[in-house]
Amino acid sequence: MDEEITDKAKKSWFTSEAILIGAGAGMGVDSGLPVFRGENGFWKAYPPLAKLGIQFEEMANPRWFRDDPRLAWGFYGHRFNLYRKTIPHKGFEILIKKFKDENIPTFIFTSNVDGQFQKAGFPENLIMECHGSIMHLQCMESCGYPIWPIDSGTVINIDSETLLAEEPLPACPNCKSIARPNILMFSDFEWDHSRTTYQRKKMDDWLEDKKQKKLLVIEIGAGSDIPTVRLTCEEIFQLIGDQFIRVNPVESECNIKDSLSLSMGAENALKIIAK
């Protein structure tokens, strides 16, 4: 690793007055979470779907909640159970310490739906989840009942051979129709974006307030397949940022002037920057 780059990254970490974190799927890898890139990664994580020949892009579609609700909840319930029992890696700890112990204002922009930043201790009002969250549900029939958080005691039992969830499946408290995670899926025209729109407003207010501060933008584990996190981080940096660091073990190249690229995983990079 180029020492000049890590020195610059450290300097910016220790002198920043505010931090915006942009996190993609790579952020969760060091906590042991799977990345669903390519059918091999996905089918390794879900052998029953490999048997059925269903790929991630097909499975992540709201139609399953109508066509085969037990399989839909088997898939999302498995992810929910996994995310709930996952312990966020040391990199999250480094970020939360900076925020809580050193009082450095921090905002999270993430495409991850896994609720790991909340779990690590970040307050709900400092997080924007651009693809929604598995920890929140919406009614499949759009009866008008607003998005609600999944009950902390919810247990979704799943048959590991078939990936079918046991009934009763999560349901709308108002009209009793089947519920679905408030996640933006593929071909998803029914996604209720009201929670995410509210988070966007919070983020815009936060950024407006940080215009005069030395803002460090750290983008972590965000791929170029679905470039929302990458583009958002670049845009914010170019508008009001002081330094931009891209952390990615495979796609760390960056064309932005004076940006820093760290070709490594999230936990390792944060440990190095904060040392």
CB of 259 to Zn ion, least distance (A): 46
Tell me whether residue 41 or residue 173 sits nearer to Zn ion (CB atom). Answer: 173
CB of 148 to Zn ion, least distance (A): 10
Tell me whether residue 38 or residue 146 sits nearer to Zn ion (CB atom). Answer: 146
Which residues in this chain contact Zn ion in the complex, by CB under 5 A?
A: 139, 143, 145, 172, 174-175, 177
Tell me whether residue 190 or residue 242 sits nearer to Zn ion (CB atom). Answer: 190
Cα separation, 191 vs 15, whole angstroms: 40
Which DSSP category does 149 fall into? E
Instruction: State both tokens at 63.
Output: 């139609």
CB of 113 to Zn ion, least distance (A): 21
CB of 177 to Zn ion, least distance (A): 5
Cα separation, 127 vs 199, whole angstroms: 7
Cα separation, 211 vs 204, whole angstroms: 11
| Residue 211 CA neighbour count, 13 Å, CB half | 5
Tell me whether residue 162 or residue 174 sits nearer to Zn ion (CB atom). Answer: 174
What are the backbone dihedrals phi and psi of residue 247, each rounded to the nearest 5 degrees, phi first? Answer: -110, 120
Q: Are 209 and 107 in contact (CB under 8 A)?
A: no
CB of 142 to Zn ion, least distance (A): 7
Tell me whether residue 142 or residue 238 sits nearer to Zn ion (CB atom). Answer: 142
H helix runs in 86-147, sequence order:
90-100, 116-120
Q: Are strands 215-220 and 18-23 parallel, antiparallel or unpaired?
A: parallel
